[in-house]
Structure 1
Amino acid sequence: MSLEAMIELALALVAFLTAVVFHEYAHGRVAYLLGDPTARDARRLTLNPLAHIDPFGTVLLPLLLAVLRFAFNMGVPIVGYAKPVPVNPLYFRHPYQGMMLVALAGPAINLLLAGVGVGLWHGVGASLPGLLSFFVFYFVVINILLAVFNLIPVPPLDGSRVLLYLLPQGGKRLFLMLEPFGFVIVFLLLYAGVLQHLLMPIVSWVETILGRFG
């Protein structure tokens, strides 16, 4: 791997870490605003990355995907996850609704951060140095990828909490039975290339958007 590729890999991982930390912080903050102090009491209501790192989801998985992308030129999305912020729905007046709002907070903050990145690119994109330009691009891409990825309605992703709120009571019971198999389903989707076909067009779309603003 060339020095340039290693630097790009490091910048992409920094962008990823920033995105997942804000994602989990948003979950905890909205839960706290709805009356749940669990994240605060667990000292997870913080932007300190060390509080949110999951050894596999925050380090190994995105590192592996980044190496495949930058060292082997494979068209794989850089996705992963942080250690989930603890939430206790019993504190919410309406538990299913509360969990839906908490779940949506993560993708929402990622889309907001992506918007900030697009705004920065729109303002000074043409004058950004090469590496900083690369970082802003991947900051936008990764935040949008995380938002879309987490809205997939498969446990334990955020979209599953939204779907759970929308399902009738009988459907809720059946859906909850899938939770123990959620990670297996996600990895099967990744292995089968379904997630790649869903997420990789987003990279091209962001290139088009930033190209118009550049």
Structure 2
Amino acid sequence: MSSFQLSRGTPRSAFLPSPVFVGILALVGVSAWMTWTGYGNVRVDVFLLVISGWVLSLCLHEYAHALIAYFSGDRGVADRGYLRLNPLKYTHPLLSIVLPLVAVVLGGIGLPGGAVWVDHAYVRSKARESLISAAGPATNVVFALLLAAPFAFGAGDDALVFSGGTVSLGPHGAFWLGLAALAFLQVTASLLNLLPVPGLDGGNVVRPWLNDAYRRAYDLFAPYGFIMLFVLLWQSRINVWFFDAVSWIGALIGLPDDLGQLGLAYMRFWSD
């Protein structure tokens, strides 16, 4: 890659992970160890694992957009700091970090965000434009598969122990609850990001292939994509259909039924 970078004047430092990202990665590792060993308040450990793991996935989601955009012609993503995995460089940190975190804590849903600004004037192919938009959701899909893989092979089967009508955590049960919660969030994020909603990744995958009239209509509704998504999920029947689909996909990749939602409830250490 070095010759490619140097020939276009992009410094190597533009590709180095930022200290902020290294700190996030360290927090994921430490919180995973704390959760595995039951260090301190284990519910706080699970909270830290889920939140830091979710922020890590958000960074990689946006990085995937930027990396594909870079190789598709927009070298400006390097100048804007998008290739250093620093969430503080996002154009909309409120939408990309704060709002998704609030959604995770309060609603248990992996809300998609919008952050990386791509100069499409340098992207000369409709296929590449779609690929840039699809790269983010693809990272969520990969994350979901990786996180669900241990469960598919039988790990975490003893996360919960049923005895005498009561339920307790099994060996390393808190860790498996946290991992299941993260996998559940990735499934919700994958599904939401692939919906063809204007302004979101799924809609942006389709946009380059629309004719001029439909593209103008798309651009008109794109700024309200988040609001449209909230309105759709606010409808009780659609909400039920959505989570039924998430449960079905989770079961398909080996995620135990309801374990992810239990993990999300368990991480809320401030509640009973």
| TM-score, normalised by the number of residues in structure 2 | 0.63
User: Structure 2: 5+ residue runs without aligned partners?
Assistant: 1-40, 159-170, 258-272
Q: How far has the Cα of 1:105 moved from its partner?
A: 0.4
Matching of residues 102-121 of structure 1 within 5 Å: 102-121=132-151
Deviates more, 1:152-161 or 1:189-198: 189-198
Q: Say whether 1:92 aligns with 2:123.
A: yes
CA contact 1:15–1:142 (8 Å) conserved in 2: no
The residue identity in structure 2 corresponding to 1:80 is: L
| TM-score, normalised by the number of residues in structure 1 | 0.78
Q: Say whether 1:80 aligns with 2:105.
A: no
Change (3 A) 1:28 1:56: closer
Deviates more, 1:111-120 or 1:6-15: 6-15
User: Structure 1: 5+ residue runs without aligned partners?
Assistant: 68-75
The residue identity in structure 1 corresponding to 2:111 is: G
For CA contacts below 8 A with separation 6 or more, give which structure has more relative contact order: 1
Q: How far has the Cα of 1:177 moved from its partner?
A: 1.9
The residue identity in structure 2 corresponding to 1:90 is: A
The residue identity in structure 2 corresponding to 1:31 is: A
1:45 alignment partner, SS class: helix
> Which residue is 1:210 aligned to?
255
Task: Give the one of 221, 235, 238 matched to 1:192.
Answer: 235
Q: Say whether 1:182 aligns with 2:220.
A: no
Alignment coverage as a number of residue pairs: 201
1:71-105 deviation digits (Å, cap 9, x = unpaired): xxxxx4423344511201111122x4322110100
> Which residue is 2:22 aligned to?
none
Structure with the higher fraction of residues in helix conformation: 1
1:178 alignment partner, SS class: helix
Change (3 A) 1:98 1:125: same
Q: How far has the Cα of 1:133 moved from its partner?
A: 0.9
The residue identity in structure 1 corresponding to 2:65 is: H
Change (3 A) 1:204 1:181: closer
Change (3 A) 1:64 1:159: closer
1:111 alignment partner, SS class: helix
The residue identity in structure 1 corresponding to 2:222 is: E
CA distance in 1, matches of 2:128, 2:238: 28
1:134-169 deviation digits (Å, cap 9, x = unpaired): 222122211121111111212221111122133233
Task: Give the one of 45, 48, 62 matched to 2:86.
Answer: 48
Q: Say whether 1:154 aligns with 2:192.
A: no
CA distance in 1, matches of 2:230, 2:79: 32
> Which residue is 1:173 aligned to?
216
The residue identity in structure 2 corresponding to 1:102 is: I
Deviates more, 1:160-169 or 1:15-24: 160-169
User: RMSD over aligned Cα, in angstroms?
Assistant: 2.8
Change (3 A) 1:195 1:80: farther
CA distance in 2, matches of 1:50, 1:129: 34
The residue identity in structure 1 corresponding to 2:203 is: S
Change (3 A) 1:150 1:193: farther
